[in-house]
Structure 1
């Protein structure tokens, strides 16, 4: 069964999107992918985000820096985060927690997307990353019977992706994972919240939460360092991360404590130093509903952006000094990705894609594709140069 998908040209770019392919998956859903022209796409910033359509269909959209949708890939359920391979030729879209699927997409090749299913007793947390050579995929997962977090290790070098092992994260609820600047260390944000798929997204241990950021040797699985927050902040679930130019980790949190408290929501972590929490001035802080959605660095790593969709704000910091640079109003803005050295593309749940060219300048809506609601995250599909 083949399903057609919509494509949109970018200026004169992509006069033809190639053939369509579809592969049946569980629950009567389908996967479908179109091809992008690699030569025409060369030098064009491309981005990917999960979405939901007005008719209830879930998928991933590939957009350009003008906010135009170039391709759509149908998913079997709600998507969340995306891992981009270093060479830029493929990406993996993960199901939203507690989903059990991930989809490998090669947008420049005439091949069907590959469906990955989590191991029995595991589910994905919605995020992953690749090794520096692109052979291994690391996915944060829940071993829900044992209430422990693991990083699933997948070999992507063959014709089919294979799960070949796992590392413990020494915590509960690992939500995000990054490859460190040494291209060997895995950095994991343990959110600290216990869940079980038979109980949906119910949070089972709010009184005993212990979030942390963990540094793991990707070759041995050894814990190199682990940093927890002070006891009074044990209900600040650490979720999403970005690396700055100096290799430090900026992590955003979602507070599960009393509603009348306004804790710091963004911290800076490094392997050999205690975490530092950033200050968000009033009245901005009190309007964020204690929730950070995404964290991203600009192309050079000098500016950090953190979205607060419930508060309708995207916040910015100078990564080197830690100075707060201000906030831009973007209703339900959550997905954040760098465009170049100074600007960010931001997606929102109302379907808009906005440009912030400077933290001091208002956001500019570039496009609002009809019938699309963007999910939580937005990812730059640019090739990564690994040493």
Structure 2
């Protein structure tokens, strides 16, 4: 049944307590707590809104990290259903039938499948010598999942091959680089590569295995875009940018232009150079090149999406701007938006969230040349800090 309250968010709490906080007793592991919480899911109360758009998102609310469904309709948006997760989530993947896959932010140790309609959860915890790098996708037909991971002993990137139903790993392939991040399967041929080829962004940043996110020896950065055979992980191609201090992070395929847009994050030791660095690269199946440098955007692309009609949008939270590019990588303009981050798009419109806005403001537009709308705050108020990514439900 549909809910009529924007505050109908799922809460996990120990019997006999009040409020939303769950405290960890001595002797109870985080894993046990999460499994217990998953078993205490609320009855199915979520249904897609009759009109408008549903976005699957991750966010922080007060002291909790959550994933959930946001309904956007006209000038209003609301939380339709949500679930607390043990640490900050990063990449999300929508499954046909209503399931949602979420992965912990790197270096992460959990992978989750959640069914918002029923409240059912399925957790998977990675082995001690591996860490999730924040992204997961499903193969054609949905029988296989791929997750980007790091081997903690060697710091080398791996692609975990997983049986979708159980989430268990059945194989793993080298990504031919360090710090693999987002990946996607080509929906159509590009250059000499067939549809289905796996494209992986190797961020290339050396890190300390014991701390996960502490960067070291940036003079040894080796960022690359690789193409892997989805049948066996064989390397089909590898591309690097001329500037070794540009980390390749997030990917978006534009079916109109037949090109891949890549959000970049600069790691230059000279902060002036870093501040002016490009935030987008474009790959056409044969060559990889940086897009035209827009006005200084702090050298940090947070997320990227394909724009309807061709081109790309890149969120730049450190510059509080959204940068718009045409299909050839020419910057067509920027839009001011406080800590612009999560992006999603279909063939008609796109959405942008702020990671810090107390009003939960977002933009929606139909093309790079159409002025976006600024949505009103969600009814009932309450600050949500939308995380790096949100996605549209699978059709």
Q: Same fold (TM over 0.5)?
A: yes
CA RMSD of aligned residues (A): 2.7
Structure-2 separation of matches of 1:145 and 1:65: 44
Structure-2 separation of matches of 1:219 and 1:22: 44
Cα pair 1:22 1:33 within 8 Å, conserved:
no
Cα pair 2:91 2:102 within 8 Å, conserved:
yes
Deviation at 1:34, TM superposition (A): 6.2
Query: Which string of whole-angstrom CA distances, capped at 9 and with x for unpartnered residues, describes residues 41-60 of structure 1?
Result: 57752211211111x11111
Q: How does 1:1-387 map to 2 (within 5 A)?
A: 9=5, 26=31, 28-29=33-34, 30-31=37-38, 32=41, 35=44, 37=46, 40-41=48-49, 44-54=52-62, 56-66=63-73, 67-85=77-95, 87-108=96-117, 110-157=118-165, 160-182=166-188, 183-230=195-242, 233-245=243-255, 246-257=257-268, 258-261=270-273, 262-271=276-285, 273-281=286-294, 284=295, 286=296, 288-298=297-307, 300=308, 302-319=310-327, 321-338=328-345, 340-351=347-358, 352-357=360-365, 358-360=367-369, 361-368=371-378, 369-383=381-395
Aligned positions, number? 357
Q: Could you say what secondary structure the match of 1:260 adopts?
A: helix
Deviation at 1:382, TM superposition (A): 3.2
Structure-2 separation of matches of 1:306 and 1:342: 15
Deviation at 1:178, TM superposition (A): 0.7
Cα pair 1:314 1:327 within 8 Å, conserved:
yes
Cα pair 1:264 1:280 within 8 Å, conserved:
yes
Cα pair 1:216 1:224 within 8 Å, conserved:
yes
Query: Which string of whole-angstrom CA distances, capped at 9 and with x for unpartnered residues, describes residues 335-360 of structure 1?
Result: 01115513324343224231231534
Structure-2 separation of matches of 1:33 and 1:189: 38
Structure-2 separation of matches of 1:301 and 1:91: 28
Structure-2 separation of matches of 1:22 and 1:324: 49
CA change 1:25–1:35 in 2 (3 A) is farther
Match of 1:3 in 2: none
Structure-1 separation of matches of 2:258 and 2:148: 21
Structure-1 separation of matches of 2:205 and 2:339: 24
Cα pair 1:125 1:141 within 8 Å, conserved:
yes
CA change 1:22–1:222 in 2 (3 A) is farther
- Which consecutive residues of structure 1, in runs of 5 or more, have no partner in the other structure? 1-6
Match of 2:19 in 1: none
Structure-1 separation of matches of 2:42 and 2:266: 38
CA change 1:34–1:125 in 2 (3 A) is farther
TM-score w.r.t. the length of structure 2 is 0.83
Cα pair 1:45 1:382 within 8 Å, conserved:
no
TM-score w.r.t. the length of structure 1 is 0.84
CA change 1:340–1:22 in 2 (3 A) is farther
CA change 1:124–1:295 in 2 (3 A) is same
Cα pair 2:341 2:388 within 8 Å, conserved:
yes
Q: Could you say what secondary structure the match of 1:221 adopts?
A: coil
Query: Which string of whole-angstrom CA distances, capped at 9 and with x for unpartnered residues, describes residues 169-217 of structure 1?
Result: 0000001111111452111000001223422411123011010111111
Query: Which string of whole-angstrom CA distances, capped at 9 and with x for unpartnered residues, describes residues 73-103 of structure 1?
Result: 1101111111222x25212111111111111
Cα pair 2:71 2:78 within 8 Å, conserved:
yes
Cα pair 1:98 1:197 within 8 Å, conserved:
no
Structure-2 separation of matches of 1:301 and 1:274: 22
- Which consecutive residues of structure 2, in runs of 5 or more, have no partner in the other structure? 15-28, 189-194
